[in-house]
Amino acid sequence: MEENQSKNIILTGDRPTGRLHLGHYAGSLRRRVELQNSGRFDEVYIMIADAQALTDNSDNPEKVRSNVAEVALDYLACGLNPDIATIFIQSQVSELTELAFYYMNLVTVARLQRNPTVKAEIQARNFEASIPVGFFTYPISQTADITAFDATIVPVGEDQLPMLEQAREIVRSFNSTYGETLVEPKELLPDNSACGRLPGTDGKAKMSKSLGNCIYLADSADEIKSKIMNMYTDPNHLRVEDEGNTKDNPVFIYLDAFSTDEHFKKYLPDYQNLAALKAHYERGGLGDVKVKRFLNSVIQETLEPIRKKRAEWEGRLDDVYEILQRGCIKARAAAAKTTKRVKKAMKIDYFGE
Ligand code: TRP
């Protein structure tokens, strides 16, 4: 077996269809930076999935193109370090398309139709009978992304679990047909469940650009404050003395994801921790405005350094593109190695080295 197959390798990524928001940060970005800095990984690949973004934005190439830079800025602002992590653009690694083409032979249409994430996304986009083939097959392309780098760990949100299941099936099928060639990946989910399901500021299940319910990493301090002070809370908590619900209340879910005991000491010393704050809200006597002000302090403290760093990188866009270009070259070399191995296993290597 190849030298890579005993290494710890991370691959993950995002579609560049908009700036990244607090949901991305809680659900994956923050974790990626920790993993990057943990020293436990031999390689960390972070991919801007522009080719995948085009599977449902084929008529809007400018949107995808401009968001590649936005996502790269968000990455660098959050602390992804190009000296450790290889940040690259999917479309520039053509081996990924090549691998996907071969993997297509190992997956049935019926199996793709059963993929719950694909099902839900088809519904959300009203595709039904008019699904682009490229979109329909994106779980296969995603398997190519993962296996091209021999990734062992894929840090993702819960919605991506069916993708990982599909990837493992393809790997097993490939290895049993053509001999041990590909590495089976494992997902890594957020450890705090609130992080995996950050709702929109309007209480809807997810932050989504089209719903206008996102707090962006690039938002100004004023924008953040006004979004938080206007957040949806418990609709039955009308008067301060009313008993309140903290469970389906986005303000408390955000606090679950972001607040620490230190924050309480600093901004709300009347309460020792989040459990105490929740207890008061639940028994009545605690107003929304007070909780929102505290949440605002917590989020401002979290996002201020990110916003500053983002602004610095924005002034150095040439350097950002250079980082991406270097990343693409490195990623391509790695993917080319795997592709060679794959073609050999499939007996489509005709001319030796
Ligand atoms: N589907 C992911 C998203 O929408 C992006 C992605 C593409 C990805 N290829 C991947 C994530 C491979 C993990 C592994 O955010």
Task: Evaluate: CB of 171 within 6 angstroms of ligand 1.
Answer: no
Domain residue ranges of the chain, discontinuous segments joined by +: 2-197+316-345, 221-310
**2-197+316-345, CATH topology level:** Rossmann fold (3.40.50)
Alpha-carbon torsion 47, 51, 52, 58, what sign? positive
Mean per-residue pLDDT, 320-335: 98
For residue 348, give every residue at least 6 positions away whose Cβ sits within 8 Å of its Cβ, in sequence order, or none. Answer: none
Q: What is d(CA 137, CA 159) in angstroms, rounded to the nearest whole number?
A: 17
Rg of the chain over Cα atoms, rounded to whole angstroms, equals 22
| Tokens standing for residue 85 | 């992590």
Q: Measured in angstroms, how far is the CA atom of residue 16 from the centroid of ligand 1?
A: 10
Q: Cα separations (Å) of 6 from 9, 42, 165, 210, 219? A: 9, 10, 21, 42, 42
Please state, as a whole number, how many other Cβ atoms lie within 10 Å of the Cβ of residue 204: 13
Instruction: Out of 99, 146, 156, give the residue to mutate to test ligand 1, the one with the largest number of ligand atoms within 8 Å of its CB.
Output: 156
User: Which atom of ligand 1 is nearest the CA belonging to 11?
Assistant: 14
Q: Provide the pLDDT for residue 1.
A: 47
- Average pLDDT for residues 106-123, to the nearest whole number? 90
Average pLDDT of the residues in 288-307: 97
Cα–Cα dist 73/69, whole Å: 6
Give me the mean pLDDT over the 149-165 stretch: 91
Buried/exposed 123-132: b ≥16 CB within 10 Å, e otherwise: eeeeeeeebe
Mean pLDDT of 237-258: 94
If you average pLDDT over residues 210-217, what whole number do you get? 93
Q: How far is the CA of 47 from the centre of ligand 1 (A)?
A: 8
Minimum mean pLDDT range among 10-19, 110-119, 276-285: 110-119
Q: Residue of the nearest CA to atom 8 in ligand 1?
A: 13
Average pLDDT over residues 191-220: 88
Enter the pTM of the model: 0.94
Q: What pLDDT was estimated at residue 122?
A: 82
Which residue, judged by its Cα, is nearest atom 10 of ligand 1?
A: 142
pLDDT tens figures, 137-152:
999 999 999 999 999 9
CB of residue 324 inside a 6 A radius of ligand 1: no
* pLDDT for res 210: 84
Look at residue 105 and tell me whether its pLDDT is greater than 80. yes
Could you check whether 2-197+316-345 and 221-310 share the same CATH topology? no
Homologous superfamily in CATH for domain 221-310: Tyrosyl-Transfer RNA Synthetase (1.10.240.10)
